């Protein structure tokens, strides 16, 4: 019968927390990059310029149709070799490219939820399209985008567990290495699951606080 030995967790808590830190770091960087990418793609998708709209749509549909694992492999083994990216930046760019497609759809939906009359009123007052978008439309749309954007960040953190396949020492790879040396898969994976839950649950609570503040301002 398997005898659990939970002492492996406190003995290696430093390594696990280092993995947590790297996971959060990669996820945060990927989100920071994916937001401007998503804004540009979202604006291009609803643009009246058919070429821009077509290119943005093609990118979004292609990225959403490709598994993240395949995208990470391609960036690391193909693009990474030409640009000398290394595992860390291959992971960041892979997650950012993948998340950017989903952020673009969130941006598009948020903008299209604002009545068209708002844009027409802004243009009639002398604003350019980009001024109206920046000063009138996007600030209103952001409140509606916040919940799905926050959810996307949580999804991104969970998706980041795949970066271990390209040798990024995130929480998942730390766990794999620890199991190899300790032979304590039950204990280690249980601890990792709890750590991921703590991260995502904490973030979800912080997001709810921000959502309440935005609702109070409305």
Triad 92, 197, 153: Cα angle to 5°:
35
In a domain, 138, yes or no: yes
pLDDT digits (tens, 9 = 90+) for 69-107: 999 999 999 988 888 888 999 999 999 999 999 999 998
In a domain, 195, yes or no: yes
Q: Could you give the percent of the chain with pLDDT greater than 70?
A: 97
CA 158: distance to chain centroid? 9
In a domain, 2, yes or no: no
In a domain, 154, yes or no: yes
In a domain, 161, yes or no: yes
Provide the CATH number for the domain around residue 202: 1.10.3720.10
pLDDT digits (tens, 9 = 90+) for 10-56: 999 999 999 999 999 999 999 999 999 998 999 899 888 899 999 99
In a domain, 1, yes or no: no
What is the domain count for the chain? 1
Q: Is residue 218 pLDDT above 60, yes or no?
A: no
Segments forming the whole domain that contains residue 129 = 8-217
């Amino acid at each position: 019968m398997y005898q659990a030995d939970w002492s492996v967790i406190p003995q290696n808590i430093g390594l696990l927390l280092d993995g947590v830190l790297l996971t959060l770091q990669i996820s945060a960087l990927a989100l920071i990059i994916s937001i401007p990418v998503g804004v540009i793609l979202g604006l291009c998708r609803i643009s009246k310029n058919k070429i821009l709209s077509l290119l943005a749509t093609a990118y979004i549909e292609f990225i959403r149709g490709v598994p993240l694992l395949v995208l990470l492999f391609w960036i690391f083994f193909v693009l990474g070799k030409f640009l000398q990216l290394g595992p860390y930046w291959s992971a960041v760019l892979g997650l950012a490219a993948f998340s950017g497609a989903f952020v673009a759809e969130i941006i598009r939906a948020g903008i299209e939820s604002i009545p068209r009359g708002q844009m027409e009123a802004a243009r009639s007052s002398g604003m350019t399209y980009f001024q109206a978008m920046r000063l009138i439309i996007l600030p209103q749309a952001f409140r509606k985008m916040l919940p799905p954007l926050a959810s996307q960040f949580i999804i991104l953190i969970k998706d980041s567990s795949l970066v271990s396949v390209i040798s990024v020492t995130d929480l998942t790879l730390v766990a794999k290495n620890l199991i190899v040396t300790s032979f304590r898969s039950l204990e280690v994976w249980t601890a990792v699951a709890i750590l991921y839950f703590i991260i995502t649950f904490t973030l979800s609570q912080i997001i709810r606080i921000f959502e309440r503040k935005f609702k109070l301002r409305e």
